[in-house]
Amino acid sequence: MDAGFIIRSLNHDDIGDCISLSASVSWNQTEDDWKQIVVDPHNICLGAESGGRIIGTATAVNYGEKVAWVGMVMVEKTFRGRGISKILLSDLLEKLKSFKSVKLDATPAGQPLYAKFGFMDECLIYRMMAPGFRGLGARSRLLIPERITPGIVRGIVDLDDSVFGVGREKLIKSLIEKSPENSWFLKKDDMITGFVLSRSGRDYHQIGPVSALTFEGARVLIFRALEGLDNSPVVVDVPAGQEELIEWLKFNGFENQRHLVRMFLHTNPFPGQPENQFLICGPEFG
């Protein structure tokens, strides 16, 4: 262990440092995002502390004691090159041995590190951004989104469970509670066939997750969510397999910013239904 830092669990008092750290590397997380992760006692969150402040982090969100979703692996620029990320990740994975699955969405910079720990590629995800939404060619007379109400939430959680591959009820409920005015769903014959959620970021609104049975349903849902953002800057994370959606987003002014790689450690027992996952929630949540 480098005498210049210690590794310890993160707590509520560290959130200010965590916000500063993610902002310093131009990530989009807000105070609410950090609280969602750090304050939950079921999650595992580690920090590297030096000089009384947090200069590196690594977190794992607990989805039903089955999947641990690794995220927020970062180190302050002035402390890089000292193996801190490797130590954080090693310590974190040691604490995740009881989980059946460990997954993450890696940046290009992080992918080689995760590969050294045994993570394997699952799919490519494109981060796309737009300074303002043009709203072309998306309305439908047949598919009309409805706002999510408390009586519908259980059905939304169940659909997300099927599509994502494991239950994440706490996250889905939190997203709806924080942005009820921009949480929408579709139904057919009293069955929920799709939904869209969104959240505010430090620099951009993020649309996602979006789950739907068809591309047309996903397109209509995303259009409805974007209408509620008043031409604000928007970011979306789109699985590469959703080619129709990617083309539609480009038509509406979205551009590729970078890519992520979804990875899993050793095995992937909860793949979900990737054909029905049109936008992910974000790399910190999957």
Backbone angles phi, psi at 109, to 5 degrees: -70, -35
Q: What is the mean pLDDT of the chain?
A: 94
pLDDT band of 1, cuts 50, 70, 90: very low
Kindly report the number of other CB atoms within 10 A of residue 57's CB atom: 28
pLDDT of residue 139: 61
The reported pLDDT for the residue numbered 2 is 53
Q: State mean pLDDT over 180-196.
A: 96
pLDDT at 229: 83
User: Confidence band (pLDDT; 50, 70, 90) for 131?
Assistant: confident
Give the pLDDT score at 13: 97
Q: Tell me, what's the pLDDT at 138?
A: 56
Tell me: pLDDT of 224 over 70.
Answer: yes
- Diameter of the chain by CA atoms? 64
pTM, two decimal places: 0.94
Per-residue model confidence as pLDDT tens digits over 234-251: 999 999 999 999 999 998
State yes or no: pLDDT of 196 exceeds 50. Answer: yes
Do residues 161 and 277 touch, judged by C-beta distance below 8 A? no
Residue percentage of the chain with pLDDT more than 70: 96
pLDDT of 142: 74
Cα 106 to Cα 3, 33, 34, 110, 174: the distances in Å are 29, 18, 18, 6, 24
Q: Per-residue pLDDT tens for 104-123?
A: 999 999 999 999 999 999 99
- pLDDT at residue 130 greater than cutoff 60: yes
Same fold, 6-99 and 127-279: yes
Residue 71, pLDDT > 60, answer: yes
Q: Phi, psi (5° rounding) for residue 27?
A: -85, 160
Report the alpha-carbon distance of residue 283 to residue 254 in Å, rounded.
19
pLDDT bin (cut points 50, 70, 90) of residue 134 is low
CATH code given to domain 127-279: 3.40.630.30
> Is residue 135 scored above 80 in pLDDT?
no
119 closest CA partner among 145, 153, 148, 96? 96
Tell me how far apart the alpha carbons of residues 18 and 151 are, in angstroms, rounded to a whole number: 35
Q: What residue type is 259 in one-letter code?
A: H
Tokens coding 10: 């993160």
Pick the range with the lowest mean pLDDT from 64-68, 201-205, 207-211: 201-205
Q: How far is CA 176 from CA 40, 196, 263, in A?
A: 18, 10, 27
Superfamily of domain 6-99: Gcn5-related N-acetyltransferase (GNAT) (3.40.630.30)
pLDDT in tens, 174-184: 999 999 999 99
pLDDT of residue 193: 98
Mean pLDDT of 93-103: 97
The per-residue pLDDT for 141 is: 65
The domains of the chain are located at: 6-99, 127-279
What is the pLDDT at residue 136? Answer: 56
